[in-house]
């Protein structure tokens, strides 16, 4: 972690930066926000969590703190991740760019021998805030507590997970408490979210024990609603109920951060933006572009934001970067693809886009476009199965149980079709608002032939206009996977990964 500046030296630096910015704004005829007029910006970013909050219709549990945040601001009902996996989502988030536009679309890439540099004109958002005199920080939002909400005496920076080369200097600290007097701050509160529940029986038991201690009881597995393609098996039910427990733990952490802002007299001059980095980690959730994986909650509260408003227009998570800069009076970079969705002259988007690429060793390429009615998905490797070999996913208890149930002949025809089919359709088309879990593929229905053609063309145009980087070469794939294996200490895990990667290389060479 970077050693914080001494307050006296930093005040002098900040005054110099602000004076320079004022002069630049004056030359451009703009009215800068300076001093106390500049709002603090707080992002609350949650791992592996869908919109399972009461204010979004979740009925099994109550989430009073996120609900209250929504009542004091604006709640977006159709916010989508441009990528449904951590590192690519966060690389896009911190730059305000589609991950496919800047070459960071393969999960956990650019960290070994293969390095990735951002294109000219693209920079991480914290750098812009620093230059504007903001204190930049990333942590749990609660001194003395970690990203899981547990007490700790070890303070550290929060999750970054960027796929490009970046400087740790763009973060001043893990918390805003160290800033100079009156200095505005840009804070990322990074929370463990759905990862709290873990992926094993031992982790489930630990979370249940915590729920009893903190809330008096854990969520009853029989009370949960599962998507129709997951069997109501005890393992599946307990996993989902424990996931909902992680939602409650996250909700309480959010409430404590908001209480802290209020107690410190900062709340009314702070723009708070709450969102998750993709949906629930499950077979058809995380890593995939259906609503289970890509639909996210987005709630914004703060100066100039209407209270108790609900917006149903389509937005993308990269828009958070643009609106945050605008709120601080910082000019949005010309090349940034995210848009200021809070601007008075903002025109609603007619479509939003998403992409899934290599996740771990699982090489893939999927693209999608959503419009008001339709979700169109293009599978570039339709000859590969949906549940492709994946050391990360196959290690989860829920995936192991799904495979066990299938081997025993205990899964439904729908589960067999959506999860275990040996191939995938080249194209998928859903009326996603009517088909909540996207189970009725209309791509071959002549009634929707015109819509299919229109969405195919629209996606192709987006791919071309944004400079989609596409698949990795075999040489880069080998470098990336070898780097991952070298960093994996568990021998059994490493060998499963190696075996899978050899299969993907075989498929690549066969053109499958």
300-354 pLDDT, tens digit per residue, is: 999 999 999 999 999 999 999 999 999 999 999 999 999 999 999 999 999 999 9
Residue 504 token pair: 């993907």
| C-alpha pair distances (Å), 490 with each of 79, 212, 391, 484, 497 | 38, 33, 12, 12, 11
Report the SS3 class of residue 145.
strand
d(CA 365, CA 378): 9
Q: Where are the domains of the chain?
A: 7-278+302-355, 358-472, 473-512
Q: CA 13 to CA 133: how far, in whole Å?
A: 8
Nearest Cα to 391, choosing from 287, 286, 496, 495?
496
Angstrom distance (rounded) from CA 88 to CA 317: 12
Q: Which residues contact 269 (CB under 8 A, 6 or more apart)?
A: 36, 39, 40, 303
DSSP string, 192-215: -GGGGG-SSHHHHHHHHHHHHHHH
- What residues are paired with 269 via a beta bridge? none
For residue 239, give the DSSP letter: H
Report the pLDDT value the prediction gives residue 138, as an integer from 0 to 100: 98
Give the Cα separation of 69 and 486 in Å (integer): 44
**R_g of the chain, CA atoms, integer Å:** 23
How many CB atoms are closer than 10 A to CB 326? 16
Q: Are 230 and 396 in contact (CB under 8 A)?
A: no
Question: What is the spatial distance between Cα 403 and Cα 174, in angstroms, rounded to a whole number?
Answer: 42
CA diameter of the chain: 73
Gap between the Cα atoms of 436 and 157, Å rounded: 37
The CATH number given to 7-278+302-355 is: 3.40.720.10
Q: What is the pLDDT of residue 25?
A: 39
Retrieve residue 407's tokens: 């081997």
Q: How far apart are CA 437 and CA 280, in angstroms?
A: 13
What's the rounded Cα separation, in Å, for the pair 197 and 204?
Answer: 6
- CB contact at 8 A, 192 and 147: yes
Q: How far is CA 216 from CA 177, 210, 243, 244, 245, in A?
A: 33, 9, 17, 15, 12
- Spell out, as residue ranges, where the chain has pLDDT lower than 50: 1-35
Q: Which DSSP category does 271 fall into?
A: E
Beta pairing partners, 43:
188, 273
- Determine how β-strand 374-379 pairs with β-strand 366-370: antiparallel
Alpha-carbon span 403 to 77, nearest angstrom: 34
Q: Which residues pair with 139 in a beta bridge?
A: 189
């Amino acid at each position: 972690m970077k050693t914080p500046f001494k307050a006296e030296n930093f005040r002098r630096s900040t005054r110099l930066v602000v004076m320079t910015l004022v002069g630049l704004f004056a030359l451009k005829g703009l009215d800068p926000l300076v001093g106390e007029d500049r709002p603090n910006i707080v992002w609350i970013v949650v791992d592996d969590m869908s919109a399972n909050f009461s204010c979004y219709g979740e009925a099994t549990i109550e989430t009073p703190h996120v609900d209250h945040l929504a009542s004091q601001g604006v709640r977006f009902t159709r916010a989508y991740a441009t990528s449904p996996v951590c590192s690519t989502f966060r690389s896009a988030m911190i730059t305000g760019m589609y991950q496919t536009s800047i070459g960071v679309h393969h999960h956990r890439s650019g960290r070994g021998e293969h390095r990735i540099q951002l294109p000219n004109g693209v920079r991480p958002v914290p750098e812009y805030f620093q230059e504007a005199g903001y204190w930049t920080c990333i942590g749990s939002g609660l001194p003395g507590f970690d990203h899981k909400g547990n007490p700790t005496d070890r303070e550290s920076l929060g999750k970054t997970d960027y796929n490009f080369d970046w400087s740790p200097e763009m973060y001043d600290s893990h918390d805003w408490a160290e800033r100079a007097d009156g200095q505005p701050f840009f804070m990322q509160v990074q929370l463990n979210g759905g990862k709290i529940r873990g992926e094993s029986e031992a982790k489930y038991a630990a979370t249940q024990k915590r729920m009893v201690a903190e809330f008096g009881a854990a969520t009853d597995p029989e009370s949960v609603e599962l998507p129709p393609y997951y069997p109501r098996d005890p393992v599946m039910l307990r996993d989902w109920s424990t996931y909902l427990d992680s939602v409650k733990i996250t909700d309480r952490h959010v409430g404590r951060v908001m209480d802290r802002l209020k107690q410190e007299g900062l709340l009314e001059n702070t723009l708070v933006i709450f969102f998750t980095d993709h949906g629930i980690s499950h077979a058809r959730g995380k890593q995939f572009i259906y609503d289970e994986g890509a639909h996210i909650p987005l709630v914004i509260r703060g100066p100039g934001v209407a209270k108790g408003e609900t917006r149903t227009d389509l937005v993308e998570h990269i828009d958070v970067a643009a609106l945050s800069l605008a709120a601080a009076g910082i000019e949005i970079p010309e090349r940034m693809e995210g848009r200021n969705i809070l601007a008075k002259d903002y025109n609603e988007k007619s479509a939003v886009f998403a992409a899934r690429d290599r996740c771990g060793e699982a090489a893939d390429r999927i693209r999608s476009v959503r419009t008001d009615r339709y979700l169109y998905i293009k599978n570039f490797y339709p000859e590969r199965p949906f549940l492709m070999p994946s050391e990360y996913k196959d290690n989860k208890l829920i995936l192991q149980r799904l495979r066990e149930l299938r081997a025993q002949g205990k899964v439904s025809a729908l589960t067999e079709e959506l999860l275990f089919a040996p191939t995938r359709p080249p194209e998928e088309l859903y009326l996603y608002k009517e088909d909540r879990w996207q189970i009725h593929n209309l791509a071959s229905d002549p009634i929707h032939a015109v819509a299919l053609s229109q969405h195919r063309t629209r996606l192709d145009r987006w791919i071309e206009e944004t400079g989609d980087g596409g698949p990795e070469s075999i040489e880069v794939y080998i470098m990336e996977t070898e780097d991952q294996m070298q960093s994996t200490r568990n021998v059994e895990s490493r060998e499963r990964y190696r075996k899978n990667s050899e299969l993907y290389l075989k498929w690549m060479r066969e053109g499958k």
